[in-house]
A and B are shown apart, each in its own frame.
Chain A
Amino acid sequence: GAGVSQTPSNKVTEKGKYVELRCDPISGHTALYWYRQSLGQGPEFLIYFQGTGAADDSGLPNDRFFAVRPEGSVSTLKIQRTERGDSAVYLCASSVSGGARYEQYFGPGTRLTVT
């Protein structure tokens, strides 16, 4: 079946602009995660959704970052007043449910470049 999809695959924006990154999880997966991967680093946790609610947003770096999942499926990561330091690959993952025993399936990522 279809895996996790993310759009756009690449996004170039100017410093100070607003961006939205979209994630379509695997159908039926209730858990959804966002990670950020900076150059030369492993992915870092940003936020976890169980259903429609953000169960853990402790990884969001500051209040310019916000994510929603209004219907418990598609999620959007929103970044306001982008800064050059926000440039990274943003990864989305989903799993059947939350918890360590459920494999997280990753999307291809969105590469964000802030100029």
Chain B
Amino acid sequence: AQRVTQPEKLLSVFKGAPVELKCNYSYSGSPELFWYVQYSRQRLQLLLRHISRESIKGFTADLNKGETSFHLKKPFAQEEDSAMYYCALVNDYKLSFGAGTTVTVRA
């Protein structure tokens, strides 16, 4: 069975500091992984997906199959990055989400 684990419920960093959100997964196959973000009073939206290998809003995430991880990183956090972040894995069409990490960026 597939599973996504986000070990940190809360993460607080200062503006300008690096931020890393951890995500580990279990999946018997070739995984396709995503990070979704939900800003205050907004809907859940896709931030990035590993197959596109893009940097979105300064965030990057590398799939490490050996460690079964897909950690999200940003070198310099901004106040507008304060949000809820969910790591997710897709099996055909079905998304499985982690429990989420609330990120607060302090001035």
Q: Residues on A close to B: CB < 8 A?
A: 3-4, 31, 33, 35, 40-45, 48, 55-56, 59, 91, 95, 98-100, 102-109
From B9, B86, B92, residue with most partner A Cβ within 10 Å: B92
Picked from A4, A41, A42, A98, the residue with its CB within 8 Å of the CB of B93 is A98
Which bracket fits the contact residues of B?
A: 20 to 34
What 10 pairs between A and B have smallest CB-CB spacing? A42-B97, A106-B44, A98-B93, A100-B90, A108-B43, A45-B94, A100-B32, A106-B43, A43-B97, A42-B86
Contact B43 A44 (CB under 8 A): no
Q: Residues on B close to A: CB < 8 A?
A: 4, 9, 32, 43-46, 86, 88, 90-100
Interchain residue pairs with CB less than 8 A apart (12): A35-B95, A42-B4, A42-B99, A43-B86, A45-B96, A48-B93, A56-B94, A98-B92, A100-B93, A106-B45, A107-B43, A109-B43
From B4, B86, B93, residue with most partner A Cβ within 10 Å: B93
Picked from B9, B45, B93, B96, the residue with its CB within 8 Å of the CB of A99 is B93
Contact A48 B43 (CB under 8 A): no
Picked from A31, A40, A48, A91, the residue with its CB within 8 Å of the CB of B44 is A91
